[in-house]
Structure 1
Amino acid sequence: MMAPKFGTSGLRGLVVELTPDLVADYCRAFVAACPTGGAVHLGRDLRPSSPAIAQAVRAALRDEGISVIDCGALPTPALALSAMAQGDAAIMVTGSHIPADRNGLKFYVPSGEISKADEVAINGHLGRASAHASSGFAREDKSATEGYLARYISGFGRDALRDMRIGVYQHSSVARDLMVAVVEGLGGVAIPLGRSETFIPVDTEALDEQTRTMLAGWCAVHGLDAIISTDGDADRPMVADANGRIVAGDVLGALTARSLGADVICTPVSSNSMVSEMSEFRAVHLTKIGSPFVIDAMEKVRAQSPDARVVGYEANGGFLLGFEAKGPAGPIAPLMTRDCLLPILAPLATAHATGRPLASLVASLPQRFTAADRVAGIPSETSRDFLAKLIQDPAARQSFFAVQAPESQLDLTDGLRVRFEDGSIVHLRPSGNAPEFRCYAEADLADTAQKLVARYLSKLRETLGASEAE
């Protein structure tokens, strides 16, 4: 069992440890350390624990004299879009893709996601007593989802997906009904699939084989052009082609950037390196893993070149738009937080407009393939110590990677990323907010990348020991 952890990705922990007192402490620290504008917009995902935690957030903010606009259950990017448009802060109750026995809070200042400096400031205000100010008002406002949907209908147009058959893997995503609405709003035929009233922790970056087989079966049975889905709070996309093959998030990012006319890419070092071979982009900036680092790189680009058409994306597919893009039917305003719908819709709309299947668009990109997965149950300190040894000791690396070609390059931007002389890459990195060790791989063949991930996750289990229980 781990104590709740806080960082720029927010607060996360076991539900039993996210007590009203702890939640109130972080809410008080947030409003003391960060600007909130005129109010705090509050949203939540569909986990069983989220309504109660949202009520604790609401009560804590009102006790501080902060007005609360309760937006109910909605996607994180929809909450952020609405709050930022009104110059307000936001708090999203979500544990993202992790299991339902965990939950968390994501914090937004009026300009967007909290930064590393905000994180430090919030930590510095923990433990302060309640102001017991006059109670702030609270009201419900469910219009944020409508505004989020309208963003894509107006940008892509009502014929963008005309007659395409799109499976919508609904599971327990907070965007499950919204995805159906946007497909139908763009002229497509939405086929709802796999709706669940029990929370399912879908990690779009590490889908299990059972899920992949299920997607392929749905495509065959329903004659689908694609299947779409998201993680729990809908800031990460999932897209499968007509054969049920997953299109990796960093491939969706490259396709989306190309379709929007971007010329500068900011993306973590773990993303597929093929983007550096695409001539339509004049610059690619690699960052540490995490949207705050991507946003920081994008802001630097915009400060140096105000006219830059800069976008960012993560390997999980969350896409950040840093300029006003020209959609097929109208402008799409910037949104500097991870979004799920844009990297779903842009590639599909391109496929429709060009008369090509999604798989053909993917095949048009430079052929590099990535894979990723994680091993759970490894304490963070164990992961850190092991990784430090690999970084510092060439003999330890040689032993761990014994069956690979000799190493040709080390990248320590975030964790340990080793390029080997055969062109393959293995990237090891402990999770920043869970007792997990993540492994990323890249190779010239998709099967090779998958096998690399399987091989080194197995070695991590053997070397460090792991259990699903914490």
Structure 2
Amino acid sequence: MSGNGKVSIQDLMATSGVRFGTSGARGLVADMNSEVCFAYTAAFLDAVKAKDTAIALAMDYRPSSPAISAACGAAIERAGLSFDFCGAIPTPALAFYAQESGLPGIMVTGSHIPFDRNGIKFYRIEGEITKTDEAVISAEVVEVPAEGQTVELPAANAKAFDAYVARYVDFFGPGALSGMKLGFYEHSSVSREAIHAILKGLGAEVISLGRTEEFVPIDTEAVADVDIERAHAWAAEHHFDAILSTDGDGDRPLLGDEKGDWFRGDIVGILCARYLAAQGVVTTVSSNSAVEKCGAFSRLALTKIGSPYVIEGIEGLIAEGVAPVVGFEPNGGFLVGSKVVRNGRTLAPLVTRDAILPMLCLLCAAREQRIKVSELARDLPARFTASDRLQSFPTEASRKIIAEFAASRDAIDRLLDGLAGQALSQDQTDGLRISLAGDEIVHFRPSGNAPELRCYAEAASAERAKELVRESLERLKAKLA
């Protein structure tokens, strides 16, 4: 692309490799140059018909995020609009500020993926864009100037940060966490300042753990062994009530109990939905089946993996008159589809993934019930999940393998021979979810954000679920060697 004249987003996807995944447009930093980012932003503004308004713009702490933000800002100004630069804040903080201010929003973040990649998330005034919006943006043809593809970023407006902190301090109430000693693994999360302010506003004692200025790609669905070991060591040393962390942009939580054992994100979602007395719950097909077996929710919808699909499910339940409605993903990101009222306080909807709300709900639940955080899930059905992935694994190779298994139950049985029972049924809502004899599940799918093949498993014990994931991926690697 020359950077001069008309640019087709469809062509741009093919030539740059930057395209929509499960959460915004993402690609290698080397490919996300000013022309590409300018074009995507211009296409978004055309698609949502942004006129006579400002655009809320924020970013995470990735080294590449300021340059990408500068290109987004240039496209906004080129369209005759202004941008309200909110600085480095969590993705849900940007989304909440845009929603409450009646503005479209743009968040520059790659979430949990490695620092050599990045991304851009787009928000209509009504909230996060849908798959339909993505299709409209992808069909756009926009003008990209040869010069002026970036602008200088102004000083950040602190209103978005302040509104996000007030959202949770007001809902839970000052003193809600008084007496709790919490460890906060900050690493390079852009949510670290906001989480400190919220926890202190709620009366907790907060001990900072592991802040770094180098970007750390925390994946809350596949927690690294080093982070598992760190949490156990911190818990033994400090005797915390809990340990908190998030991914890079603060939309996926990582909550550890007093022993330093990290909760699975879908269990966090179930417990949070129950604390908020949700009637309708939307989650992905890969979530722990305890969400259905626990019997706590009157309506349950299962979707493909990715927040746009969860959002569509939330909208469907709301249209049916179900309330309150929430959604979550196995990575722990939690969405509030309709207002929640608890103890006379109202929580406004926020239909984008958020990390801090589910962690606060679990901490408050433990304090209100006078139990340890590790005891919160004791009454849930004994179903345990695990997940991991093969990295640097081409998406087309993932699809080929999944198609082979989907076409032949014998191929599945050969892969899992001696490891698990026979395949009984399969679900192709997203990838291939295989129900096995012995009430176990193995699920394969290509990542929507990176060249990875993900594997999920469910069993009657945590160790068995981990074994299923580990051995399944090892066998796949051997098969392809």
The TM-score bracket by the shorter chain reads over 0.9
Q: Which amino acid aligns with 2:368?
A: A
| Unpaired stretches in structure 2, ≥5 consecutive residues | 1-14
> Quick one: structure 1 residues 138 and 44, their matched pair in 2 at CA, closer, same or farther if it must change by over 3 Å?
closer
Partner of 1:399: 414
Partner of 2:402: 387
Q: 1:127 offset after TM fit, Å?
A: 4.8
Deviations 1:217-264 (A, max 9, x none): 001101101000100000000000000101111111111111111011
Distance 1:264 1:283 in 2: 5
Deviations 1:10-55 (A, max 9, x none): 1111111111011111111111112436221110000111111111
> Quick one: structure 1 residues 51 and 132, their matched pair in 2 at CA, closer, same or farther if it must change by over 3 Å?
closer
Partner of 1:321: 336
Residues 39 and 142, structure 2, Cα contact 8 Å, conserved in 1: yes
Q: Which of 296, 311, 325 is matched with 2:312 structurally?
A: 296
Q: Which of 181, 194, 197 is matched with 1:181 structurally?
A: 197
Deviations 1:67-102 (A, max 9, x none): 111000000000000001122111111111011111
Q: Secondary structure in 2 aligned to 1:17?
A: coil
Q: 1:401 offset after TM fit, Å?
A: 1.8
Partner of 1:207: 223
> Quick one: structure 1 residues 296 and 221, their matched pair in 2 at CA, closer, same or farther if it must change by over 3 Å?
same
Partner of 1:116: 131
Q: Which amino acid aligns with 2:119?
A: G
Distance 1:78 1:53 in 2: 19
Distance 1:194 1:51 in 2: 24
Q: 1:421 offset after TM fit, Å?
A: 1.4
Partner of 2:264: 248
Partner of 1:457: 473
Q: Which amino acid aligns with 2:34?
A: P
Partner of 1:334: 349
Q: Secondary structure in 1 aligned to 2:323?
A: coil
- 2:441 paired with 1:425: yes
Partner of 1:232: 248
Distance 1:424 1:2 in 2: 41
Q: Which of 3, 8, 17 is matched with 1:3 structurally?
A: 17
- 2:69 paired with 1:64: no
Distance 1:311 1:355 in 2: 26
> Quick one: structure 1 residues 61 and 247, their matched pair in 2 at CA, closer, same or farther if it must change by over 3 Å?
same
- 2:467 paired with 1:443: no
Q: Secondary structure in 2 aligned to 1:262?
A: coil
- 2:279 paired with 1:263: yes
Deviations 1:96-154 (A, max 9, x none): 10111111111111111111111111111145455999x99996422101100101101
Partner of 1:154: 170
> Quick one: structure 1 residues 451 and 137, their matched pair in 2 at CA, closer, same or farther if it must change by over 3 Å?
closer
- 2:371 paired with 1:356: yes
Residues 336 and 349, structure 2, Cα contact 8 Å, conserved in 1: yes
Partner of 1:99: 114
Q: Secondary structure in 2 aligned to 1:343?
A: helix
Distance 1:455 1:329 in 2: 50
Distance 1:292 1:113 in 2: 8
Q: How does 1:191-202 map to 2 (within 5 A)?
A: 191-202=207-218
Q: 1:8 offset after TM fit, Å?
A: 5.3
Distance 2:21 2:430 in 1: 16
| Unpaired stretches in structure 1, ≥5 consecutive residues | 466-470
Q: Which amino acid aligns with 1:383?
A: S
Q: 1:302 offset after TM fit, Å?
A: 0.6
Residues 8 and 115, structure 1, Cα contact 8 Å, conserved in 2: no
Residues 43 and 137, structure 2, Cα contact 8 Å, conserved in 1: yes
Q: 1:364 offset after TM fit, Å?
A: 1.9
Q: 1:460 offset after TM fit, Å?
A: 2.2
Residues 8 and 114, structure 1, Cα contact 8 Å, conserved in 2: no
Q: TM-score, normalised by structure 1?
A: 0.95
Residues 409 and 423, structure 2, Cα contact 8 Å, conserved in 1: no
Partner of 1:43: 58
Q: Which amino acid aligns with 1:460?
A: L
Which shows bigger deviation, 406-415 or 253-262?
406-415
Q: Which amino acid aligns with 1:31?
A: L
Residues 387 and 454, structure 2, Cα contact 8 Å, conserved in 1: yes
Distance 2:344 2:159 in 1: 23
Distance 1:334 1:29 in 2: 27
Q: Which amino acid aligns with 1:387?
A: I
Q: TM-score, normalised by structure 2?
A: 0.93
Distance 1:75 1:329 in 2: 27
Q: 1:397 offset after TM fit, Å?
A: 1.5
Q: 1:410 offset after TM fit, Å?
A: 0.9
Distance 1:272 1:161 in 2: 28
Residues 70 and 152, structure 2, Cα contact 8 Å, conserved in 1: no
Q: Which amino acid aligns with 1:198?
A: E
Q: Which amino acid aligns with 2:97?
A: S
Which shows bigger deviation, 243-252 or 29-38?
29-38
Q: Which of 7, 32, 53 is matched with 2:46 structurally?
A: 32
Q: How does 1:135-154 map to 2 (within 5 A)?
A: 140-154=156-170
Q: Secondary structure in 2 aligned to 1:107?
A: strand
Identity over aligned pairs, percent = 44
Residues 115 and 216, structure 2, Cα contact 8 Å, conserved in 1: yes
Deviations 1:429-452 (A, max 9, x none): 011121100000001101000111
> Quick one: structure 1 residues 398 and 262, their matched pair in 2 at CA, closer, same or farther if it must change by over 3 Å?
same
Q: Which amino acid aligns with 1:296?
A: E
Which shows bigger deviation, 398-407 or 171-180?
398-407
Residues 64 and 131, structure 1, Cα contact 8 Å, conserved in 2: no
